[in-house]
Structure 1
C-alpha cells in the first residue's frame, strides 16, 4: 500500500479495531453511526489581497460527534488540507476528548492555503472571512475552535472579534487559546507539549526508565515539539535530536531546547535547525525522518501524520514512542512496533494536553473568573496522569497495544453516551 495513506482510512480502521474488541451486539449499527461525521461545512473564501486582487480559498469545519458535548478541535492553515483530512482529525478529536473525560465532542477545521505566502493583513482578512462563514455552526455551546498547524492566539483573537461582530456582543468561550488579555488561559501556549512530556514521563516510569537519564529524539520543532523537549529537559532527560521541514540534527551529548528555540525565533523563516550555531554531530535531509530511527529511549514524533509506516517501522530503535503529532503512526506500523516490544503512547492520549487546557479556558470564560498558572498546570497534569494510567491498565488487562486500549476506553464512553441519549 502507498506510504502516504489517506488519514480518513486510518481513522476508520482504528475505529473498526476498537469495535472488534468491544464486540457490541449491534456493532454494525454502531459502526455505521460513528464512521462518518454528523456534519461538515465546506465554504468558499474569496479574499482581498494587498495588491488589490482577489484570491479564492476553500475552508472546512467538521463536527464528527457531539454525544458528550459541543464539538471541539483546532483550525489549521496548510496547503495539504483536504476534506478527508479534516474528517479524520475531527474523529480523532472525538476520541481524544472522550479519553480525557472532558465534556466535548470532536470537531476540526482547515483552510487550503500556504500561510507563508500571505502578509499579516491577508491572513487577518482570510481568518475573519472563514469565521464569518462558519459562524452558523459554531458557538460556546455548539462548537469551539482552537489553533492548530500555522494558526495561533492571534488567529483566535481575529476569530473571537469577528464572531462578536456577527453576534453583536463578545462570547469569550467561542474559541480557546486566545491571548490572555482577551480571555485566554494561563499555560495554554505550552499545554500540548507539556501534556506530551507528562505522557513520556509516565511511560518511562511504567517501563522502568529513569526520565533523568533518558535520551529523547524529537521529530519537529514547532510548538508541541519544542515545549515537550523543554519540559523533558527540565526533568533531566537528554534531548539529542530535533527537526523541521528543511532538515534534522543529532547532538550526541544533548542540547538545551530553549537555546535552539531562541535561535529559531531570532532567525528568519528561511533558517533551518541544521543552520544552528550550536554543537551538531550529524545533519540529515528531511526525507530521511532521522529523529524517528535513532537509538534512544524515547521517540517523540511531533510533526505531521504518516511518519512511521509499515515500510519503515522496522527501523525504529526507541523503547517508547510518544505521539505528539496527530496520526504519525499508521495502522500498518502498529503491529510491527508491538512485535518489537516498543510501547507506543497514541496521539489521542499523548497530545491531549492542549484540548484539556482549552477546556479549562472555556470553564474560566463561562465563569468570567481566571485562575493562576499553577492551578491550570496542576489540573492539566493530574488529568493527563489519570488518562495515562487508565489507558495503561486496559493495555495490560486486555493484552492489546496502547492505541487499541485508548480507543476501547474512548469509543465505549461515546457509545454509552449515545445510548443514554437514545441515539443508538
Structure 2
C-alpha cells in the first residue's frame, strides 16, 4: 500500500496501514514518522527536482524507445516547458484520437506550473489521456510548443477535431477563418438592433474563428462535444492524486498512479431497423468504427514513429500459454523482490526515499526547477473592499460583550475599546 501517490494525509495513511497490517504494533513506525516523510522527501529532492524528473524520463526512453518527451529551459537553465506521452497513450491515440479535448488547470504542483492534459474518449466512452504537459507561462508560444510536440509524438497524425476552451494563448495557435458572408450578415444584425456598443458581442466577434458551427451534424466529435465537462472531469480526477504542494518528481509519481487507475458504430439507431428490414443479420464492417468495438485495444497497430507501441501484455493476450508464462515470470519477480527488500531492510532514510521515488540524486545538474509561476487563475483572486463589505454585512449579527450592541464585531475588536 503506497499512499505517497495519492492525496491521503499522514494520519489517514497511518490508520489505513494499521488496518492493513492488523495492529499498530505491526506498523513499524510512529504517526510522527508518517508526518515527517513528506518533508524528508522534499528536503532530499531540493534543487535536483527537475533534473531527477528528466533523468527518469531518459531511463523510460532507454527502456521503451516509443516513450516520447521533450522539455525546454530558460537562460538560467530553469525548466519552462515539459511534454510527455508513453507508449500506451500513443497507442490509445492511434485508436481513439479522432477527437481530442485540451484544457489547462492549476495548483497541481508547488511551482504553480500550468498542467495541460490532452484528453479523448475510449471505446467505453470513458476519458483517456493521450499526452500531458507542464508550462510555466500560459501564452501562445507555450501552447504552440505543446501542440507541436503532441503532433510529433503522434507521428504527424492530426486529430479530426480539437475542442478547447476560450483562451488567449490557444486562440493564437488556432488558424483563423473568417467567412466574408458571415461578417456581412453579422454587421447587418448588429446595425439593425443597435448593438454596436455591446461589449460582450464585440468580444465574442473577435473570437469568431473559434466558434463552433451552428450545424455540426456532419462534424465528428467523438462524444466530447461538451469539452469543459470532459476535460474538467479528467482534471478533477487528477486532483484526487496531486495537490499544490508536490514537487515535479512527486507529481510524476502521482500522474503515473492516476493513469494506472484509469487504464459504436457511428450510424443512427433507426438505420438498424432499415438494415434488419432489408434482410441483414449483421452490420456491414464499413459502417462500424473500430474505436467503439469491444476489441478495439486488441488489434495490432504500427507506432506512428515506426516502432511497436503494443504494451507487453497486448503482445501475449491472444496466446494463453505465453500470457501464463509472462504472469508467472512477474509473480516470481515480485516474490524475489519482496524477499530482497525484507532481507536488505535498512535504517538509512536516504535509501528508503530513493526506493520510494525510484531515482537517485543526480551527479550533475543541468536542468533546474522553475521559480513559482504567476498565471491568471493559478492563485486566489484578491477580494475587493466592496466584496469584503458585502460579505461582512451578510454575516448574522451578534451581541458584543463590550458595548452590548448587536453588530458584526465582538469584544476583541469592538470600536469602543479602540484607543
Larger of the two Rg values belongs to structure: 2
The TM-score, its normalising length taken from structure 2, stands at 0.27
The TM-score, its normalising length taken from structure 1, stands at 0.27
Q: Which has the higher contact order (CA 8 A, sep 6+)?
A: 2
